[in-house]
Amino acid sequence: MDIKRILILGGGTAGWLAANHLGKALEHRQDVTITLVESPDIPIIGVGEGTVPAIRQSLKRFGISESEFIRRCDVTFKQSIKFVNWMDKDRHGAGNFYHHLFDMPSPLGEDLTQHWLDNTNTAYGDMVSPQHKVCEAGRAPKRITHSEYEGALGYAYHLNAAKFAKLLADNAIRRFNVEHIMANVQEVTLRENGEIASLETDCRGSIGADFFIDCSGFESLLIDKTLKVPFVDKSHQLFADKAIAVQVPIDENEAIPPYTLATAHQAGWIWDIALTHRRGVGFVYSSKYMDDDTALNKLSRYLGQDVAKYQYRVLPMKLGYRREFLHKNCLSLGLAQGFLEPLEATSILLTDFAAGFVANRMPKDSEALALLADQFNQVMIYAWERVVEFIKMHYCLSDRSDSSFWVDNRDPETIPCELSTRLKLWQNHSPIRQDFFSKFEVFDLENYLYVLYGMHYSTAPQVAAKERREAWQTQARQIASVGEHLMKELPEHRELLEKIAVYGLQKC
């Protein structure tokens, strides 16, 4: 059977990212139609308002102007995740922190990790990247004279999820002729071979297609409730299974941090994301180690005001992923595909990656689809497992012992085998590129370096020749000098955003 009719169930970030990826990849095929069916009664969850740098390539590919994106979606720049109090306060001091930066470490050629292991009195990020100083100074990653999607330093974005979905929708409809239908699905009809045939809706009748994409969120109407694809539970490795999300206003003259703030607490952590007019704050915790009332009280204490004065949501988080992501003629994306706690902004990252992967290999018929499914499912299982390991590493490396939550996270039985092996390997030598052999590493060498040594991981120092050590010292001084220069040259974060609102950035 030829695949000529593609139907996406669900809007939001996942649905409209899929629509844009498919629209761009298939814009030369006049015989293919793309339809997105969205319920008028289901709001966007919009918890994750942070992204990673890969989103810049996708937005540019879709033909979306960065200036328009920033103006319409309350965007602020994100250069890092600043982790606060993830280590023991008695050993490292209250307010201990490190940055997981978006710029590459050691940009001048020499890997300075060994130099840092000899000089651990300096923060790892500060030694290996000028971006550490820029973040701490509250500076933007670019100037108004930079072209769209280009900058002096690596960056991603914080954004208003609802406005972002609307921007993606407008682009997909206008540029790629995606049909948008507002309707509630009442029933899903199957073919004799078990594939999905059509969606029966309340106001548009039966809508048939050859290929379906499930972006229906936690409901997982197609991949779970209809096709019964099993769920791989990861709650034995990742404990944080609830979040309280709230939005609080900020003063329009208040400085905007150019990073996500992730502050650890007794049974989890707090995200704090500043947009231009409000903060999105979320209290992530484990229901096994903390009850809802205690979590609410601790969030109020963090905010310095009663959280009950605002509209907040308590969100259960089912941690894991589907055993198959592409099953029969259905692809799952976003929350329908799976979910891990929002540390490191993995939800949008995996959605964008998976949607682009399938769109760029979109088969013309069901025989080719079956071949793609085998490859895609293998790739995505590998990607999800690596993400689980990377998130777990933040917890199991912590030396906090103020609660059972942190102690239990170091239990070897809860640490994935691959992560355990890597950590043992890295006790003897620091990570190198060859340790990350797959082309589908969601988090790569640089990400591990920032987190490992931001959390003071103990790697045995290596003997190096005098000339090599002198080269390390020289490059460390050069990086520090570049950092000082950029702190003076780059604009204050809010100042740049206000200029972009008025003048826009230069077109590519």
Q: What is the DSSP string of 367-405?
A: HHHHHHHHHHHHHHHHHHHHHHHHHHHHHHT----SSHH
Residue 137 in tokens: 């100074």
**pTM for the predicted model, two decimal places:** 0.96
- Torsion angle of the four alpha carbons 426, 431, 437, 440, in this order, in degrees rounded to the nearest 10: 100
Q: Are 442 and 352 in contact (CB under 8 A)?
A: no
Residue 22 in tokens: 């498919």
pLDDT for the residue numbered 252: 86
Band the pLDDT of 441: cuts 50, 70, 90.
confident
Band the pLDDT of 44: cuts 50, 70, 90.
low
Asked whether the predicted pLDDT for residue 120 surpasses 90, the reply is: no
Averaged pLDDT of the chain:
95
pLDDT for the residue numbered 462: 87
Mean pLDDT of 47-66: 92
pLDDT tens, residue by residue, 175-225: 999 999 999 999 999 999 999 999 999 999 999 999 999 999 999 999 999
Q: Are 331 and 214 in contact (CB under 8 A)?
A: yes
DSSP structural state of residue 2 = B
Q: Are 81 and 263 in contact (CB under 8 A)?
A: no
Instruction: Tell how strand 80-84 and strand 260-265 pair up.
Output: parallel
Asked whether the predicted pLDDT for residue 48 surpasses 60, the reply is: no
Q: What percent of the chain has pLDDT over 70?
A: 99
